[in-house]
């Protein structure tokens, strides 16, 4: 972050730090509980979770690009897209990421990669068809802010506890249902330990899930703010948000369902018109909240604040 010209936000940064602290606290409680209850049972799930974390951290760019059917494009193949990226790199003093395109009509964009050297910024063909160059610049500045903020690495690490707790919960339930209890009908201690393991894991998963979603919403607001201040055009980003949200509502439901697995990566979530979800479970802030923040930034810029 220090090597780029993306503006920081102390308020959002402090909230993200508090969320990360709470995640760490839950992790400490989780590990301590397992040490007291049954350290042997959690060891296998912990090793598997570490393997998932390793793969997600080091191969996130390749895995996401493969899943989204994205392909890297050269300046000759996509001169306008590369031109916008080059302008943002010049404004932000950031290294140029790889540029990719995903052939889908769902209008969206995402950034992936654990650091700036491994970063990829990908846009869909649906987004390229719908946005003008100024709106596209706002969206891509938002995605490159995620790269500058190291959001992929942060969210990968933050999600580790949830992955670990979820695996232990699943393994515990399957072990109990498919033989754990049947093999030891007379061993009440084993059953009690198993129930305690599942209960602790389920609680840890639920709490970490909520905290990770809150962290995801903060990083989206932070990327919006950084992009708006960098380009000096918060209205362009607001226009892109409004347009993309409206266009997504017109996309066929089957296409949206295929894209929803990647909502945490996307510029705006792939939910159709009429979709309602609790704020606590959302990966993104509401459209109204994002537009309100951009309107506030626009007022500040107009007054020279």
Tokens of 154: 């942060």
| Count of Cβ atoms closer than 10 Å to residue 271 Cβ | 18
CA atoms within 13 A on the CB side of 122: 28
- What is d(CA 287, CA 140) in angstroms, rounded to the nearest whole number? 18
If residue 301 lies in a helix (H) or strand (E), which one and from where to where? helix 287-303
142 is in an annotated binding site: yes
Separation of alpha carbons 90 and 98, rounded Å = 15
185: helix, strand or coil: coil
Contacts of 236 (CB under 8 A, 6+ apart): 134, 135, 137, 138
Q: Which residues pair with 102 in a beta bridge?
A: 70, 124
Please tell me whether 220 is known to bind a ligand.
Answer: yes
Residue of 77, 80, 137, 143 marked catalytic: 143
Active site residue 143: yes
Residue 211 near residue 203, CB atoms below 8 Å: no
Provide the 10 A C-beta neighbour count for residue 17. 12
C-alpha count within 13 angstroms, C-beta hemisphere, residue 61: 21
User: Half-sphere exposure (CA, 13 Å, Cβ side) for 57?
Assistant: 13
The enclosing H or E element of 99 equals strand 98-102
Number of alpha helices (DSSP H) and beta strands (DSSP E) in the chain: 12, 4
Q: Residue 257 is encoded by which pair of tokens?
A: 């369902």
- Integer Cα distance of 46 and 168 in angstroms: 8
Q: Binding site, residues? A: 142, 146, 220
Q: Binding site for Zn(2+), residues? A: 142, 146, 220
Which are the catalytic amino acids?
A: 143
């Amino acid at each position: 972050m220090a090597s780029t010209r993306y503006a920081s936000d102390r308020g959002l940064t402090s909230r993200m730090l508090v969320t990360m602290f709470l995640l760490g606290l839950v992790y400490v409680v989780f590990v301590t509980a397992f040490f007291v209850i049954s350290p042997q049972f959690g060891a296998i799930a912990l090793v598997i979770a570490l393997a998932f974390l390793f793969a997600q951290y080091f191969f996130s760019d390749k895995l996401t690009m493969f899943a989204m059917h994205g392909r890297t494009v050269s300046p000759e193949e996509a001169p306008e897209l590369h031109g916008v990226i080059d302008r943002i790199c010049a404004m932000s003093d950031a290294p140029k990421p790889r540029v990719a395109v995903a052939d889908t009509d769902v209008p969206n964009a995402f950034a992936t990669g654990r650091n700036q050297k491994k970063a990829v910024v990908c846009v869909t063909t649906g987004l390229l068809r719908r946005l003008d160059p100024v709106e596209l610049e706002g969206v891509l500045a938002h995605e490159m802010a995620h790269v500058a903020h190291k959001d992929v690495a942060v969210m990968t690490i933050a999600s580790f506890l949830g992955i670990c707790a979820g695996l232990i919960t699943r393994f515990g339930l399957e072990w109990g249902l498919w033989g754990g209890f049947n093999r030891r009908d007379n061993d009440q201690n084993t059953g009690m330990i198993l129930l305690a393991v599942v209960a602790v894991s389920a609680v840890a998963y639920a709490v970490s899930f909520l905290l990770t979603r809150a962290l995801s919403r903060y990083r989206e607001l932070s990327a919006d703010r950084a992009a708006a201040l960098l380009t000096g055009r918060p209205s362009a980003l607001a226009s892109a948000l409004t347009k993309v949200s409206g266009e997504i509502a017109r996309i066929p439901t089957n296409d949206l369902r295929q894209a929803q697995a990647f909502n945490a990566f996307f510029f705006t979530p792939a939910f159709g018109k009429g979709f309602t979800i609790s704020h606590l479970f959302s990966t993104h802030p509401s459209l109204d909240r994002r537009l309100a923040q951009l309107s506030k930034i626009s007022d500040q810029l107009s007054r020279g604040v």
